[in-house]
Amino acid sequence: MHPTKSLKALVSGVVALSTTLVLVSGAGAATKGLRAERAAAGAVGVVPAPAMRALPRPLYGVTVDDVTNLGAIVAGARALGHMPVTRIYFNVKEPASYYASAVRAVQPASYVMGELLDSSDSRHIGTAAYGRRVESYVAQLGNSVDVWEIGNEVNGNWTGRYATVEAKLTTAYDDVTAAGRRTALTLYDNVGCGDGSRELDPVAFSGRYVPAAVRSGLDYVLLSYYEGNCKGIRPSAAAWTAYFARLHVLFPHALLGFGEIGMDSPATNITLGTARSLMTYYYGLSVDLPYYVGGYFWWYYDEDCLPYATKPLWATLQSAFASETAALAH
């Protein structure tokens, strides 16, 4: 999410701690070193990864930015009209072991997407450290995570130097694919409202900083879009369809959709109407492309919809899932 999510990341870090107690040339060298180590390890022999369960089409996505509300997260997944894909934000300060029990609890009730590095955390970890983090997370949680988000809003100009971002996403892609797991990449849709001339749009960034092998091999390519950070612009379904068709040229083998929508903070009585409008519109988008799978992954699902018996946006999300089914039924 946009830097306004940095406050959320800080709060999540504090909560997590309470419940448990760019260098371009350097990035390139670190990446090469990690690859050499992996290649050497691979020569010894690799144990085949367990088979992955099939993911639905469309994807009914929600995001949780904290797992301390685990009982409500699991209950919500079971109560939704469609089995969701729960995207779990993995705090950059936490080891994989912190999330192990939560992921195992969520996995029977929901598909799981693991967000390895949020854009607001991107500057807080180097390339080599990120490579070690990815390897650790995949080794410990790989059997319970259905798809790994290797990079989040990677073209945002707050994520660090683009060459460093490229090194990180490439390292993560190599690690996850070497383990035989699915990958997803989320781009920040800033068309018409970017944060400056040096912030590339998703298409320009992908052409320059996502290597061809990664573009060809990704399983999912998703867009993050926040109307509140984009002058309130609400593109039409036709505009979104045209843009996803452009992305498909760059990512010919990937399924496309949205990886993040929402607002900069949880809904309040004042903003409840806006939240309902956003949720209803985006989950109900009719994008008639054979490789489009929806997703959306409302960021503040935990805060806005759980516990589901008491939160007013729960009913809106249920209706939104039904609208997604109708919009994307082929």
Structural domain boundaries of the chain? Answer: 3-21+52-328
Asked if residues 90 and 116 have their Cβ atoms less than 8 Å apart, the reply is yes
Q: How far apart are CA 161 and CA 227, in angstroms?
A: 25
Calpha distance 197→194 (Å, rounded) = 8
pLDDT bracket for residue 174 (50, 70, 90):
very high
Distance CA 181, CA 177 (A): 5
Q: How confident is the model at residue 106 (pLDDT cuts 50, 70, 90)?
A: very high
- In tens, the pLDDT along 245-293 reads 999 999 999 999 999 999 999 999 999 999 999 999 999 999 999 999 9
What single-letter amino acid sits at 39? A
The terminus-to-terminus CA distance of the chain in angstroms comes to 31
Tokens 């685990």 label which residue? 70
Residue 242 confidence (pLDDT) above 70:
yes
- Cβ contact 91:85 at 8 Å: no
Mean residue pLDDT of the chain comes to 89
CATH pick for 3-21+52-328 out of 3.20.20.80, 3.40.190.10, 3.40.50.10300, 3.50.50.60:
3.20.20.80
The pLDDT confidence band at residue 5, using thresholds 50, 70 and 90, is: low
Q: What is the predicted pLDDT for the residue at 89?
A: 98
